[in-house]
């Protein structure tokens, strides 16, 4: 029976880890080109790396492969100087512009504007704003029309909603649209494409895996529409992981709709949980042939020798909660997908220096020429033998400064431009921006230490390996109470408490967050304003408690906070009650654990802190075995070590 409520031109394709999403997109596009050689196709990838990979496989002028920010900014740039669009910009961001004008913390930015235009008020900003642009930064320059990563997407949605011509232009230009990693795509982006293709002949394909949603881009607000997508097609075969690892992944997902089949039936080594209180370098040495997945947080960066870098980025408005990106995202991504333009440049310079240290002069010159927006063209203009000597001398000096200098990052940036390694204006926006003031004061040695650490083949971040596969993976189970918030050991406890699955847990999270948005929580502080609204908050708390009284996730994550508040009403207990921090921290741990496990092709080891599971150790061992792990360290709980088949070893 045909579902008349289901879209016939929109498709949701579930594609779990290792199922070959890129290959699916590639084959589908190639087949479409063979059948309809003149039709236009758009494929949106999540990263530049994925874009480059797909571009290397498909060579057709009728196929556009791009990242979402690059595509949308280019698509709407034609309209950014239109009066109607500028007026919409001023309408959408008026409150933020007014807030900046009144904010004493923006004194230096305001002073620069006054120096340039004579005065600063909303009317002056309006009169001097003649175009909008995507500034490729994590923060917006509201006075000048510069849109950040987040604001550009948000404003694009507003443009598409207001100007019908944009939707018509998109759907008429592209007959097939593919969006990879939809679960990490913001609802604003999904709405843009949905609104553009609905009731048209164009077809929209979303591919992804909600278990791998480990960024904060998607908020669940698109789920009602998403449920109407055609979901008949899915990818079930895992081409990456061994039979035994696939078994673990299926048990973790615990949803028959997302069941994976291994590519081969041959069983290999069982995944293993190691329970220990020894995290010394000597202990971890036994996993030297494994990619070791750590949770990166303040403590990790301090251990690396880059703690000041983390602190400086944490103080930037762009990376404070609830921003899409965190300091971890900036400090662990050495690719061109890094959300911060300054660090994209700095890591690119580090790449160049690394090539020099390896005597890979040809590759270094090629990199500099490819990144001509960063590197001074005169620096790599080598025609004669004497040019080679000059180049050799200059790069030796650069490496010496990078390795031994006591410079801070600002001095290093100035050194790069003063000595014509980099274009003279490349660092100017950051040198003039007070947001970067503390970052620029950090020692260059910290950048060096961080880059060196990230370059170790045996070390990676738990979310940074997404999309990758490694023969041997060692996942170190850790908590983080700072951004990113991850409650791995609370997740383990929840896993032991009963039957859970990702779909139910995530739906609860979305519903709960939606409930919290339905009430104004600004009156919780100070105490006086709380007292004036206490009856309203108590009524709301009772409503939420009653609504979720039979929900296992609410019982585990939030019940105690609601009981505490209802029994002892005050502003402190109310704030603890209405936060979704614990839910999010456990949910993110769930996903990170799954993503970490799904990176392993052959061998998977989970290292667990004995002290952190002390209260539920026996239950934890039993649960891990039922999922498909062998467990080492059972003797700590008076039990013999057994594998997942009950065999003693």
Q: Tell me what pLDDT residue 423 has.
A: 94
Structure tokens at 456: 């170790």
Q: Tell me what pLDDT residue 434 has.
A: 84
Instruction: Convert the pLDDT of each residue in 568-593 to its tens digit.
Output: 999 999 998 999 999 999 999 999 99
Structure letter (DSSP) for residue 548: T
* CA gap 329, 618 in Å, rounded: 36
Residue 1 has pLDDT above 50, yes or no: no
Residue 602 has pLDDT above 50, yes or no: yes
Instruction: Convert the pLDDT of each residue in 481-537 to its tens digit.
Output: 876 789 999 999 999 998 999 889 999 999 999 999 999 998 988 878 999 999 999
* CA gap 624, 638 in Å, rounded: 17
pTM of this structure: 0.82
Which of helix, strand or coil describes residue 40?
A: coil
Q: Tell me what pLDDT residue 464 has.
A: 53
At what angle are helices 385-404 and 361-370 packed, to 10 degrees? 90
Q: Tell me what pLDDT residue 460 has.
A: 66
- Asked if 487 and 589 touch (Cβ cutoff 8 Å), the reply is yes
Residue 295 has pLDDT above 90, yes or no: no
Residue with tokens 């097939």: 176
Structure letter (DSSP) for residue 641: -
Q: Tell me what pLDDT residue 183 has.
A: 85
Structure tokens at 124: 């002056």
Residue 3 has pLDDT above 80, yes or no: no
Confidence of residue 467 (pLDDT cuts 50, 70, 90): low
Q: Tell me what pLDDT residue 120 has.
A: 94
Looking at the chain, the whole-number percentage of residues with pLDDT higher than 90 is 64
Query: 3-20: string of b/e by CB count within 10 Å (b at 16+)?
Result: eeeebebbbbbbbbbbbb
Question: What does the radius of gyration of the chain's CA atoms come to, in whole angstroms?
Answer: 27
Q: Tell me what pLDDT residue 215 has.
A: 61
Residue 401 to residues 412, 442, 449, 487: CA-CA distances in angstroms? 8, 15, 14, 41
Q: Tell me what pLDDT residue 337 has.
A: 86
Residue 210 has pLDDT above 50, yes or no: yes
Closest of 231, 173, 239 to residue 206, by C-alpha: 231
Q: Tell me what pLDDT residue 299 has.
A: 83
Please give the average per-residue pLDDT across 249-258, as a whole number: 89
Measured in whole angstroms, the distance separating CA 269 from the mean position of its chain's CA atoms is 32
Please give the average per-residue pLDDT across 61-75, as a whole number: 95
* CA gap 18, 260 in Å, rounded: 10
Residue 326 has pLDDT above 90, yes or no: no
Confidence of residue 185 (pLDDT cuts 50, 70, 90): confident
Residue 463 has pLDDT above 70, yes or no: no
Please give the average per-residue pLDDT across 74-97, as a whole number: 96
Closest of 185, 212, 203, 310 to residue 16, by C-alpha: 212
- Asked if 566 and 542 touch (Cβ cutoff 8 Å), the reply is yes
- Asked if 605 and 272 touch (Cβ cutoff 8 Å), the reply is yes
Structure letter (DSSP) for residue 288: T
Please give the average per-residue pLDDT across 65-69, as a whole number: 95
Query: Higher-confidence residue: 275 or 288?
Result: 275
Query: Higher-confidence residue: 295 or 639?
Result: 295
Please give the average per-residue pLDDT across 634-639, as a whole number: 55
Query: Higher-confidence residue: 213 or 208?
Result: 208
Instruction: Convert the pLDDT of each residue in 527-571 to its tens digit.
Output: 789 999 999 999 999 999 999 999 999 999 999 999 999 999 999
Instruction: Convert the pLDDT of each residue in 21-57 to its tens digit.
Output: 888 999 999 999 999 999 999 999 988 888 988 999 9
Closest of 223, 93, 111 to residue 154, by C-alpha: 93
DSSP assignment string, 298-353: HHHHHHHT-HHHHHHHHTSGGGSTTSS--HHHHHT--STT-S-HHHHHHHHHHHHH
Query: Higher-confidence residue: 445 or 481?
Result: 445
- Asked if 478 and 486 touch (Cβ cutoff 8 Å), the reply is yes
Q: Which residues contact 83 (CB under 8 A, 6 or more apart)?
A: none
Confidence of residue 469 (pLDDT cuts 50, 70, 90): confident
Structure tokens at 255: 């949803």
Residue 607 has pLDDT above 50, yes or no: yes
Query: 236-259: string of b/e by CB count within 10 Å (b at 16+)?
Result: eebebbbebbbbbbbebbbeeebe
Confidence of residue 635 (pLDDT cuts 50, 70, 90): low
Confidence of residue 266 (pLDDT cuts 50, 70, 90): low
- Asked if 552 and 498 touch (Cβ cutoff 8 Å), the reply is yes
Q: Tell me what pLDDT residue 438 has.
A: 96
Q: Tell me what pLDDT residue 2 has.
A: 45
Return mean pLDDT, the chain: 89
Which of helix, strand or coil describes residue 429?
A: helix
Residue 366 to residues 381, 426, 540: CA-CA distances in angstroms? 11, 19, 62
Q: How many CA atoms lie within 13 A of 605 on its CB side?
A: 20
* CA gap 193, 359 in Å, rounded: 47
């Amino acid at each position: 029976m045909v579902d008349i409520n289901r879209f016939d031109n929109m498709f949701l394709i579930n594609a779990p880890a290792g199922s070959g999403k890129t290959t699916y997109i590639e084959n589908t596009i190639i087949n479409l080109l063979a059948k309809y050689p003149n039709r236009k196709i758009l494929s949106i990838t999540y990263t530049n790396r994925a874009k480059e990979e797909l571009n290397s496989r498909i060579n057709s002028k009728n196929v556009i492969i791009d990242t979402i920010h690059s595509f949308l900014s280019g698509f709407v740039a034609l309209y950014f100087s239109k009066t109607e669009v500028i007026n919409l910009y001023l309408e959408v961001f008026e409150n933020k512009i007014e807030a900046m004008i009144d904010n004493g913390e923006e004194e230096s930015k305001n002073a620069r504007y006054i120096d340039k235009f004579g005065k600063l008020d909303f009317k002056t900003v309006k009169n001097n704003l003649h175009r909008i642009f995507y500034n490729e930064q994590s923060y917006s320059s509201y006075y000048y029309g510069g849109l950040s990563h987040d604001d550009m997407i948000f404003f694009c949605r507003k443009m598409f909603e207001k100007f019908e011509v944009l939707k018509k232009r998109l759907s008429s230009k592209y007959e097939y649209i593919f969006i990879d990693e939809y679960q990490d795509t913001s609802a604003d982006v999904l709405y843009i494409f949905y609104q553009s293709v609905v009731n048209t002949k164009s077809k929209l394909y979303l591919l992804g895996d909600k278990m791998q949603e480990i960024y904060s881009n998607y908020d669940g607000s698109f789920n009602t529409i998403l449920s109407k997508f055609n979901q008949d097609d899915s990818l079930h075969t895992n081409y990456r992981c061994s039979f035994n690892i696939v078994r673990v992944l299926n048990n973790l997902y615990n949803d028959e709709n997302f069941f994976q089949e291994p590519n081969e039936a041959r069983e290999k080594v069982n995944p293993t949980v190691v329970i220990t209180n020894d995290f010394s370098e000597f202990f971890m040495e036994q996993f030297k042939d494994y990619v070791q997945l750590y949770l990166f947080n303040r403590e990790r960066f301090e251990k690396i020798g880059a703690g000041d870098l983390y602190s400086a980025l944490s103080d930037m408005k762009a990376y404070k909660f609830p921003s899409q990106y965190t300091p971890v995202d900036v400090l662990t991504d050495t690719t061109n997908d890094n959300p911060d333009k300054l660090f994209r440049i700095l890591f690119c310079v580090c790449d160049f220096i690394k090539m020099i240290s390896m005597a890979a002069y040809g590759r270094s010159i090629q990199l500099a020429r490819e990144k001509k927006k960063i590197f001074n063209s005169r620096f790599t203009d080598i025609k004669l033998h004497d040019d080679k000597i000059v180049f050799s001398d200059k790069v030796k000096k650069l490496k010496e400064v990078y390795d031994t200098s006591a410079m801070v990052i600002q001095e290093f940036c100035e050194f790069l431009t003063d000595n014509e390694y980099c274009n003279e204006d490349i660092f100017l926006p950051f040198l003039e921006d007070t947001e970067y003031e503390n970052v620029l004061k950090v020692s260059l040695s910290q950048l060096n230490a961080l880059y060196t650490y990230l370059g170790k083949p045996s070390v990676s971040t738990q979310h940074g390996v997404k999309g990758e596969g490694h023969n041997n993976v060692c996942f170190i189970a850790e908590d983080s109470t700072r951004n990113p918030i991850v409650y791995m050991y609370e997740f383990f406890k929840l896993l032991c408490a009963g039957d859970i699955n990702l779909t139910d847990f995530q739906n609860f999270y979305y519903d709960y967050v939606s409930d919290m948005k339905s009430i104004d929580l600004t009156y919780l502080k100070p105490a006086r304003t709380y007292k004036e609204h206490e009856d309203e908050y108590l009524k709301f708390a009772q409503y939420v408690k009653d609504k979720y009284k039979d929900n296992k996730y609410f019982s585990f994550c939030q019940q105690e906070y609601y009981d505490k508040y209802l029994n002892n009403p005050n502003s402190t207990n109310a704030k603890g009650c209405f936060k979704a921090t614990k839910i999010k921290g456990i949910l993110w741990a769930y996903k990170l654990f799954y993503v970490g496990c799904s990176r392993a092709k052959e061998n998977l080891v989970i290292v667990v802190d004995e002290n952190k599971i002390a209260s539920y150790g026996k239950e934890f061992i039993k649960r891990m075995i039922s999922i498909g792990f062998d467990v080492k360290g059972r003797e700590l709980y008076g039990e013999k070590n057994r594998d997942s088949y009950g065999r003693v070893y």
